[in-house]
A and B are shown apart, each in its own frame.
Chain A
């Protein structure tokens, strides 16, 4: 229980001493630091000329170029496909696991719990190269021996990798939701005549749903945005959006990248807005 936070005292001692102005200025500068680069980026995506620093007029030319770009559109489609598939699989497995570990005692329970937290702590690049090695040195030779065809890195391997790093995130989110779950609600349902199955579907699952959706949304975003793990499991092509952007950014600074970035930002905002309205609906 928190110790009395009902009233925020007017005379907040530390804030008072430091002065709200000092804290406020720090916060303002920090927010500015976070947003100015993005705003500049957005503004210059509408620039008429090729310059990314000198404004010469409004134009949608760079956006139009995006829509004609085959490679880009293909990358976008792949990113969405990979995100959907990996989110579905990891949400199902992550939720199931969270329920299993939270509700039941069995041997190795703590080991599994630790195993699930591990991927979050390991640096992404290590996870990426480990999968590269695994596919090339273990899985592919094995499959080649079995079916006489040597598979290559590509969208399927990316999906496998994304599921692997998403399961822990869904697990952590759902598990946190379970820890605070009021078990007396389930007891009340049983007291009123609901058996275990009905208790789960009528009480536990609906109340858990926001957490599950939150985990799914997190997994979806992580998959769409992922670069490091994807770059090592993608092979030679640039099949996802982040990889495509990377190949562009390496070459230099152009308004096309600005336009693409702005589109991605808008898409992210859309997702944030979606998750917020879903939460408010509850």
Chain B
């Protein structure tokens, strides 16, 4: 095979590489945060080094030259750092952060196939070089990419680099291995075999030094060979055969002409090669001089490890082909590798549990298949229940068992996709740091429960909402040190980011000890923007949650540091699209608390099936507070025709689902139907008026939008045991459809909704 020039045999691994990069970057971020807070160990420095090291290796394999160059320098700095040659100072950490950013970006460019401008990352580079220069180290040019190396070294060709004009060259090779060769597990036999592949050979073995069997040391070298080789290959190719063992043997290669006269002599082609073949074989100087015996090998090895670095002298040391300036390394203290330290768990966590990687696609398919299984089992269960002839006890109990097994299977399959939120949480310290600096505020971030697991798809979607909520706290919630001092608080504000499992959902909280939400400002802004009516009366909690209202984003929020449009309504929509809810609670003067809940599994939910008119719908059980049939006296009619019911002193709006959906025949009187009290995202409680309850079951969520589009009041759909499609209600959506005064801008009126008219389609009919 010719060296790859145009085709990249490793292209298929790019995806793996980028995936690995993103994991390494996430880890690095955490390490850097640890370094910043001072909570790091030596192992942290090693781990950061290794991360950049791995990135560089992969980058080189794919010839991402900018990335290679930068990571090479960065890696060097980190190497100095882990060797203890640089001290961890705030400036250094800052440099590391900058370097991290550039690294991150360069990876991004590489991934998208973009080229960064020449000056990109310049300042970070300068800072890094500043440290290196200060330590007297010069960093050589980074490793040549594979292409460069092979291009510069003709020896790599498996075909003869340059055939001789004549029919071949006659070499005479004398080869006497020394026992040091065995110490490095080099096998003369293999070398000889390789030599023979170059052409025709005649061999003479000299066994004169071979002692008797008893006296023989198994690992000593007693044989020597003389080869006559006729070959089309060049001298370099012959040299290459012995390259690895050059200094572990006595080697003489002469070129003979037709008459066997010596044409040229080269004793022991051990002249250091100025080119780096990219590989090399070890030579032991001491063995050459002392002729150490095998029995002392272990000892020698041990001693060499502990002694200082030897003079490399005549070794065919490798120096970068592209540059002649060697990496000059300052003299080190006794070579101490991590070997001296007992196996230590990395700073970021315990030893990794055994794991395998699976493509997300496969897991998704598995999840879907299990979902179908759930549906089929439902169907069977239904058949069994409805079955004529009566299901036997055994069938019935079999079904129960089946149901249990499937549920277990499902839980386990779902858990494959679970990942700790750490990967998202680890980005937050950085944000807090950067933004608080910009705003001249002192803030400390505390994270709790980073190991809490959540579905992988959810994790990816969490980053933005979390970032925005934390930024919200930083921008609006937390005060400047002076303000805090005045208020009698500690100068440093705290943001507490936590995650925990609660009741089948994951609950993430962001709590700050700032000033809370400025309710007056929020309310007046909301009224100004028409989000609420001028005369609307809202509870404190409702005012707080106005920040999530669409159209509410204040100007400050819109200018994100990264220039993106931001708004809490976007946050809420994102969370909702994941099946989650987000709300806020404010404690004036004391702080703010964002709470966001997400389902653990996205594809399945526990639902209550209700009957409305002649249709069935599913209400997510997690949203249900309770179900009531209110006595007539507790039902009151409002002026606009809607109803409210009074429960424990509070008034709850009644949403007649049948009317909202324009279905005929549904129960209109709350006291005759069932009212299901459910909670909206904003924490508001509404009562859904339905006709009856039709059961409870776990349902697999199916998308409407895939083939159609979103429908108001409907979150998604599922397939029931009888094969029919059943819609899953969107409580917030229903609430919005019912209560027009909360959305002034709405062109739709309730009667429109009831008649099932869409403004755009009325004309079409």
Q: Do A and B come from one complex?
A: no
